Amino acid sequence: MNSRPDTVVILAAGQGTRMKSAAAKVLAPLCGQTMLAWVLDQALALGPKRVIVVVGHQADEVRRVVGTHAGKAQIECVVQEPQSGTGHALQVCLPALGADPGRVVVLYGDMPLLTHAALERLCASQADSGGGAALLTCEPQNPRGFGRIVRSKSGEVARIVEEKDASAEIKALREVNLGVYCFAGPDLVALLPGLTNDNVQREFYLTDVVEKLVAKSRRVLAVLLEDESQAIGVNTLAHLAEARRALQLRILERHLLAGVYIEDPHTTFIDHDVEIGVGTTIHPCSVIQAGVKIGARCEIGPFAMLRGGSVLHDGAAIGNFVEVNRSRIGAKSKAKHLAYLGDATLGERVNIGAGTIFANYDGQTKSPCAVGDGAFVGSGSILVAPVTVGQGATLGAGAVVTRNSEVPAGEVWVGVPARALRSKSNGPKP
């Protein structure tokens, strides 16, 4: 039986006051993209017909993040104002859901660690429920505010009690609700209008739908997650750090399995959306940002930083305390020590000496530099962009190449400002 959801609803309206940030919680950065972007990826990987994102705090900024995923599925935003609980968040979606939204999965914009395998199990369990629902649960060491799963004498899920409404006996239960559900759409839209806010928090709880389904003799199946880390809901900066570390380990493991030698994973930081070829070595304390592409048999670090938009071709080497930003490094070219390469295009087998700076920014505009195949840039050189260095040319140590200069192929330039010293093929300049 096909268990793919028709609709995914992502709850992303909260402010997240415990984050101590002016930005909406779901916009917090996490390994190269926002937390919400990770959840949008979760949703789209399920292959739904459409995704509904419930927005509220900083709605326009959240919509912009949603817009970066446009075209991958039908995605729309619904405003929840004020934010009166998870049940209310689904209630404001009722006009968008319609009478029969098909199978509906509910996700949260602050739960970036759920795996595709876990969500597939959730959807498959709902399909096995005979028209009921399924939800994700776990047994964490520290429940920290989760609602508790109350089961019937036969072991079936009977209801969910939020921690603030729970007695001491219910708080002692180990199994908790993660708030991630898969519902049969017609039942969900029929039950949502009947939710009430008769509870300590005076909010409309989506958890109350579970008890109403059981009262209608619908089965609600619990999918227990063994991996507690997937249950991390980010409410504080400490939680964000936990989530970042867990996601980082997954990213590093993927590259290791693909044949990338990462010398010390504990001090290596690689964002999502980074491509690295087989046989490349990453030395300790290196940072590689989203959007970087690295070829095969390259060498990175230690203490290197590769920023977005940079491309390294096969066999390139970026060494100690070198930063590369929006630059293309040709095959077997190298910058081994204390250099900044910004908006640079290097050909093949180029040598960049220690202390070299590509001065790409004049305070208003960023300009490019191009260095031809086989060129040698001596230590301590400064290229004030825009600059072109021809194939096989040499810049002597400490040379300052001023803006709009063109160093012809094969020439040697030295000095401040740099001027031609001689041609490699024709001897000294007159």
Cis-peptide, bond into residue 82, ω within 30° of zero: yes
Task: Tell me how far the alpha carbon of residue 85 is from its chain's centroid.
Answer: 27
CB 132 within 8 Å of CB 158: no
For residue 207, the one-letter residue type is: T
- Give CA–CA dist 346/323, Å, rounded: 14
CB 356 within 8 Å of CB 374: no
For residue 350, the one-letter residue type is: V
Going by C-beta distance under 8 Å and a sequence separation of 6 or more, which residues neighbour residue 251? 31, 270, 271, 272, 274
- Count Cβ atoms below 10 Å from residue 141 Cβ, excluding itself: 7
CB 54 within 8 Å of CB 93: yes
**337 is known as an active-site residue:** yes
CA separation (Å) from 90 to 157, 222, 251, 275? 22, 21, 33, 38
- Give CA–CA dist 166/197, Å, rounded: 15
- Give CA–CA dist 399/355, Å, rounded: 11
Q: Per the residue annotation, which of 116, 239, 313, 337 is the catalytic one? A: 337
CB 177 within 8 Å of CB 149: yes
Looking only at Cα atoms, what is the longest distance across the chain? 100
Q: What is the token pair recorded at 242?
A: 């936990």
Active site residues: 337
